Amino acid sequence: MTAAVLEINDALTQFDPVMGLEVHVELNTRSKMFCGCPTEFGAPPNTQTCPVCLGLPGALPVVNARGVESAIKIGLALNCEIAEWCRFARKNYFYPDMPKNFQTSQYDEPIAFNGWTEVVVDGETYRIEIERAHMEEDTGKSTHIGGATGRIHGADHSLVDYNRAGIPLIEIVTKTIEVPGDKAAAVARAYVSMLRDLLLALDVSDVRMDQGSLRCDANVSLKPRGSSVLGTRTETKNVNSFRSVERAITYEITRQAAVLTSGGKVLQETRHWHEDTGITTSGREKSDADDYRYFPEPDLVPVAPSREWVEELRATLPEAPSVRRARLQEEWGFTDLEMRDVINGNALEPIVATVELGVTPAAAKKWWLGELARSANESGQDLDALGVGPAQVAEVQKLVDDGALNDKLARQVFEGLLAGEGSPAEIIEKRGLALVSDDSALLDAIDRAIAANPDVVEKVNSGKPAAAGALIGAVMKDMRGQADAAKVRQLLNQKLGI
Amino acid sequence: MKSGQASSVEVTQAHLDRIAAVDGDVHAFLHVDTEGALAQARAVDDKRAAGEQLAPLAGVPLALKDVLTQEGVPTTAGSKILEGWKPPYDATVVQRLKAAGIVILGKTNMDEFAMGSSTENSAYGTTHNPWDLSRIPGGSGGGSSAAISAYEAPLAIGTDTGGSIRQPGAFTGTVGVKPTYGGTSRYGLIALASSLDTPGPCARTTLDAALLHEAIAGYDPMDSTSINQPVPAVVEAARNGDVSGLRIGVVKELGGEGYQPGVEARFHEAVELLTKLGAEVVEVSCPHFEYALPAYYLILPSEASSNLAKFDAMRYGLRVGDDGTNSAEKVTSLSREAGFGAEVKRRIILGTHALSSGYYDAYYGQAQKVRTLIARDFAKAYEQVDVLVSPATPTTAFAIGDRIDDPIAMYKNDLCTIPSNLAGNAAASFPCGLADEDGMPVGFHVMAPVMRDDLCYTVGAALESALAEQWGGVLMTKAPELEVTR
């Protein structure tokens, strides 16, 4: 069922979007939040469980100190205040893949709160206020069997895997985000992307969106242009790629605008995002009457991180990604546009690594954005999945610097590398790509070019030395590009006496 | 056993025989693990024969309240919803019992999920008081206390949420101790109210209780609320029992109207005895104790409603209506309908309501404030005195069926015991005589500050030895011989 939507531009002439983003991050602790079970992804179902994470009668949780440490680091990196004293609470609701039928979470006493961060979109900086970052545990995972859609509806039985139950989660909640409507979706995307980089830099999560270790719930509402009255919001659950965050928010804006302009009412509900069709559909209707009956978790003592510990952790924080980028741009002498291309191409880290191997920033950027990013785009792969690393890029560039390759040949080496034809040396050997430095071979080719182009020679002789370029081109063509152009020019000039 | 006069197997077998003879009438046990117990006893005998150094209670049999998990042994918490469930793991207390060489005879009867003051709420039938089989043994740990007063076991483990060790202890003429909250591990204790539950020892003498206390207490990293401090010197206190110079406060609010005359008489005689032994006795006021009962009956059901949510028939226990036509929700609801008793349902509904939005502040939040005030009452009292005392219960054991239809009357049984649970203090009940009206045992209640469990044993030991002089032995020797009918 596809709902009617407005064109995004039409929607934005009439409404201003208001967003709130809730990002769930699975931490990369070795054990679960409240027990010692391993957290490895992809283990056979129900092999990483114990009485605690299965919620067996009598079992009790104990807080994973590493989970708290990660939560504090995330809070600090998002400029939050860190609570001197906080507690876990029970969020009571029934769900078959939640063993205790309550989730141990934080409610009114989160570990981190009142923060902010910044994202850059099209050269503009947007400040995002952070409401809170709190600790909680993940649920198990249900697989519904027998239905056509894989959803619970229509299934005749369900299987539950509790390996994920109890894995530590941090939920990062923004305050309402109000940015110019045409930037809203892009800002949301940039925010989630920034979080991913930040979490990687903090080394607190693997942030594998495809494995669900970073999931975004997007709250969207519209208010009529010029009004300050907030509209009814929807919550689109579990959006799990940057692109989908942008698309899902854009879709919700256009859908809600269509509902409102046709005189309808937006329902407060959760919605599902469909990657394939690019639309959201209604989940369950959610009202404010949802009653989780929160109360302080009596099985756990409060968490009271000492100020010394918090300061120690603050001292270990890596340079914030935005600060680091500004520093690198300065060091590398890139323009804003060049830097944006690097970021958008996900090429920052490979370029850093390549520059560290002695390659100039410009050359590193040329290869990563030119050859490699293009190839990754074409095959829909991540850059780091291409099978070409900084070491190989540096090796090729060194051959160019040494005069053994020119750019054109180097590109062919990369082609070979991407095709898995072996090391650069092997590819040069197999494809016969080395530059010809043998003077006699070049002189032969020059003779052939002069003989074949008497009109050009005449022009040169009649005082137009610039015309010699055509002869160089002919020689290069004759040598199948494997000649050093500078050398050819030098020999040709000698020969023609110019 | 130590002197070689009897082996653990002989002692264990003797208790198994006693269970076989009297438990048909008493119904203290839900499950007797004959083979497991004898195997444990043999292991201890072998170790002793090999000259190994053994813990003080090694080879002594024990009855375990059915609310603590024991690997491979049925554990039901007195509820149908867990019928037949065999836990895959041992509670920390059980691990420690096993490590101390204590032989676990079986699991004892209890009010369902420890909700009740009479053991009439067990899904598996009522336990009878060995002193008078027509009376209740107290609750919720009626099975454990009845087992030791019927000589089916010399030791037992109970759990005390609002008095479930002390009240049945008082009703059966035995010693029951609620250790400091966090002094004994809750890991493997099927939770009733997490912030109140405390496992503890039941025995016929103060020293036995102290030895058992020492065996099970101490820090447990598996329980976040466990206190990481040395176990108080309870055995030394039970051996010493010197109350000279000890300041004892009689709680003004725990006595008078509603208290059975025979109970009050024995209590005051005991206070007199302690005075003669050199204790300094004063009257102390704890003005907020009168709110303890209502606060308790908001906090307990609130926590219980959440703790019992896991019993949804999805993973273990009773499952009703799973015939392929019913939804998961329907199976859960049918299983709960069949698996939970009336009192459990009553408290789940009460707790769900008390926690619901719009009512939280008025009920749960308010009750937590009362809890703080009660803890302050205690703190203030302990500035003046070392321990507080009161009768353990307002009355002696009542007749089976007497109060089962009147929950409020039932709840009032725990009037004296509840404040200690709300504050997390140590407390204990010791036998102090028989009431004139009915000849039933009366309990003397001692309350001590957090991690001063030893003070309870000091008073208990002093009282016990003074009374033994009067009676020519411990109170239990006055118990009538059980008339065995089956």
pLDDT tens digits, residue range B201-259?
Answer: 999 999 999 999 999 999 999 999 999 999 999 999 999 999 999 999 999 999 999 99
Of the candidates B79, B117, B118, B164, the residue annotated as catalytic is: B164
Report yes or no: B186 at the A interface, CB cutoff 8 Å.
yes
Residue-level pLDDT at B379: 98
Neighbour tally for B236: CB within 10 Å: 13
- How many beta-carbon pairs below 8 A join chains A and B? 100
Q: Is the pLDDT of residue B482 over 90?
A: no
- Tens of pLDDT, residue by residue over B19-30, are 999 999 999 999
Whether residue B69 and residue A158 make contact (CB cut-off 8 A), yes or no, is: no
Chain A residues with CB inside 8 Å of B311's CB? 57
Residue-level pLDDT at A1: 42
B233, B228, B139, B148: which is closest to B192 by C-alpha? B139
Which tokens is A362 given? 């410009």
Contacts of residue B96, defined as CB under 8 A and 6 or more positions apart, other chains included, come to B215, B216, B218
In the residue annotation, B310 being an active-site residue is answered as no
Among the partner-chain residues B69, B332, B357, the one whose CB lies closest to the CB of A57 is B69
Among the partner-chain residues A100, A156, A295, the one whose CB lies closest to the CB of B355 is A295
Planar angle of CA A320, A326, A330, nearest 5 degrees: 140
| Residues with pLDDT less than 70, chain A | 1-3, 285-289, 436-438
- Tens of pLDDT, residue by residue over B281-305, are 999 999 999 999 999 999 999 999 9
Q: Identify the closest residue of chain A to B316 by CA–CA distance.
A: A56
DSSP of B457-469, one letter per residue?
A: HHHHHHHHHHHHH
Average pLDDT value over all residues in chain B? 96
Chain A residues with CB inside 8 Å of B82's CB? 57
Residue with tokens 């000091």, as numbered in its chain: B458
Residue-level pLDDT at A287: 53
The minimum CA-CA distance between B226 and chain A, rounded to whole Å, is: 9
Residue-level pLDDT at A160: 94
DSSP of A361-396, one letter per residue?
A: HHHHHIIIIIIIHHHHHHHT--GGGSS--HHHHHHH
Report yes or no: B364 at the A interface, CB cutoff 8 Å.
yes
Neighbour tally for A466: CB within 10 Å: 8
Of the candidates B8, B79, B118, B140, the residue annotated as catalytic is: B140
pTM over 0.90: no
The minimum CA-CA distance between B222 and chain A, rounded to whole Å, is: 6
Chain A residues with CB inside 8 Å of B349's CB? none
Q: Is the pLDDT of residue B358 over 80?
A: yes
Report CA B451 to chain centroid distance, whole Å: 18
Report yes or no: A102 at the B interface, CB cutoff 8 Å.
yes
Chain A residues with CB inside 8 Å of B222's CB? 60, 62
Q: Identify the closest residue of chain A to B226 by CA–CA distance.
A: A301
The minimum CA-CA distance between B96 and chain A, rounded to whole Å, is: 16
The minimum CA-CA distance between A293 and chain B, rounded to whole Å, is: 5
Residue-level pLDDT at A289: 57
Neighbour tally for A226: CB within 10 Å: 6
Chain A residues with CB inside 8 Å of B303's CB? 295, 298
In the residue annotation, B3 being an active-site residue is answered as no
Whether residue B69 and residue A298 make contact (CB cut-off 8 A), yes or no, is: no
Strands (E), B192-306: 198-203, 247-251, 280-284
Residue with tokens 């619901």, as numbered in its chain: B356
Whether residue B310 and residue A99 make contact (CB cut-off 8 A), yes or no, is: yes
Measured torsion, CA atoms of residues B74, B77, B81, B83, in degrees rounded to the nearest 10: 20
Strand partners for A130: A115, A174
In the residue annotation, B140 being an active-site residue is answered as yes
* Most B CBs within 10 Å, among A293, A294, A300, A301, to test the B interface: A293
Which tokens is B354 given? 């008390």
CB of B115 closer than 8 Å to CB of B121:
yes
Q: Identify the closest residue of chain A to B304 by CA–CA distance.
A: A298
Residue-level pLDDT at A288: 53
Q: Is the pLDDT of residue B423 over 90?
A: yes
- Report the pLDDT averaged over residues B176-184: 98
Q: Is the pLDDT of residue B389 over 80?
A: yes
Q: SS3 for A224?
A: strand
Residue-level pLDDT at B484: 64
Residue type, A414: F
B435, B406, B336, B443: which is closest to B117 by C-alpha? B406
Pairing mode, if any, of strands A89-92 and A102-105?
Answer: antiparallel
Which tokens is A230 given? 């907030």
Q: Is the pLDDT of residue B104 over 50?
A: yes
* Most A CBs within 10 Å, among B306, B349, B352, to test the A interface: B306
Residue type, B41: A
A473/B99 Cα distance (integer angstroms): 90
* Most A CBs within 10 Å, among B93, B184, B222, to test the A interface: B222
The 8-class DSSP code of residue B310 comes to G
Q: Predicted ipTM?
A: 0.95
Whether residue B195 and residue A298 make contact (CB cut-off 8 A), yes or no, is: yes
Neighbour tally for A359: CB within 10 Å: 24
Q: Identify the closest residue of chain A to B196 by CA–CA distance.
A: A298
Of the candidates B8, B65, B80, B305, the residue annotated as catalytic is: B65
Whether residue A61 and residue B224 make contact (CB cut-off 8 A), yes or no, is: yes
Among the partner-chain residues B91, B187, B352, the one whose CB lies closest to the CB of A293 is B352
Report CA A77 to chain centroid distance, whole Å: 18
- Report the pLDDT averaged over residues B111-138: 97
Whether residue A92 and residue B309 make contact (CB cut-off 8 A), yes or no, is: yes
Report yes or no: B191 at the A interface, CB cutoff 8 Å.
yes
